[in-house]
Amino acid sequence: MRPGDLLLATLVAAIWGFNFIAVHVGLDDLPPLLFCGLRLLAAALPLAFLRRGPGVAWRWVLLSAACLGVLHFSLFFWGMAEGMPAGLTSLVLQSQAIFTLLLAVPLLRERPGVRRIAGTALALAGMVLVGATLHAGTPAFAFALVVASAAFWGLNNIVLRRAAPLDPLRYTMWLAALAALPMLGLSLVIEGPSADLAALRGFDLTALAALAYTSGISTIVGFGLWGRLIHRYGAGTVAPFSMLVPFFGMTAAVLVLHEALRLPDVLGGVLVIGGILFGATRARSRTISPPGIVRRVEEQATVSSGA
């Protein structure tokens, strides 16, 4: 990669890492489901100017809207609202790679090689270490919500492999559009009209900045740059930069939010990230699924709008 593009790939990882700080800040002013619904709605706004469809069958967009837009994001935001630290969340969500492998075996009939299985086992050991040594101030329920969120992110990766969108950013904006109203409806039912109305009345510049960052910078700018890099160099070169997201997320959480950086979290993070990278390096998977579909989307499924 050219030096400028190396910096660009690192910048995208930093954007996605700092997204967890923006979510933390936004949750101080907005209930999690309302914040999530507003983020999805804002991320879909460019469609008013593009006026083009997702480029794939609508059933795949609907499935992604359910898996990623509604279930992943609601559990992710809810987990942080329940007390999951921003930095640790950026790490735990990487377990989506574990769930992707586990789900690909029965759903895509993949046969992962020994290297990929070993890497996934290392990553799983890292997750067990993090979960077993949670800080006293981190509720186990919040940790479980984020793990469940990662599972639905992994399920969406399977949907992406089947959908094979040629324009992942436009696909993401459409799933956001389809998920926004159900999410806002869930907020009204679960969080209540009075809580939502009070939050909207108190909506200030801080909440606006958090919303703008999560929807505009993280989703639209981040995915636009990422898609450009993958188009230029391919996933084999670009995808490993996604493993920098927890580094930036945890570092930013320490510097900005003054979260404690604990040794078990660092060791667990090394196992998770190292295991994922080990399994992805020169891995070969045999699948009965149409190979063209898998090749076209394998890179896109590596990192989606999970953050």
Q: How confident is the model over 228-277, as pLDDT tens digits? A: 888 788 766 787 788 889 999 999 999 999 998 899 999 999 999 899 88
What is the spatial distance between Cα 273 and Cα 127, in angstroms, rounded to a whole number? 10
DSSP category for residue 70:
I
- 89 part of a folded domain: yes
- 193 part of a folded domain: yes
Helix (H) or strand (E) holding 285: strand 285-287
Residue 21 — very low, low, confident or very high, per pLDDT cuts 50/70/90? very high
- 214 part of a folded domain: yes
Residue-number span of the structural domain to which 62 is assigned: 3-302
- 106 part of a folded domain: yes
- 49 part of a folded domain: yes
Q: Name the residue among 13, 74, 71, 83 with its Cα closest to residue 252.
A: 13
- pLDDT of 282 reads 62
Please compute, for residue 226, the number of CA atoms within 13 A of its CA located in the half-sphere on the CB side.
30
DSSP category for residue 242:
G
- 307 part of a folded domain: no
Q: 41-55: b or e for each residue (b if 16 or more CB lie within 10 Å)? A: bbbbebbeeeeeebe
What is the spatial distance between Cα 26 and Cα 86, in angstroms, rounded to a whole number? 12
- 59 part of a folded domain: yes
Averaged pLDDT of the chain: 88
Domain count, the chain: 1
pLDDT digit string (tens) for 120-158?
A: 999 999 999 998 988 888 899 999 999 999 999 999 999
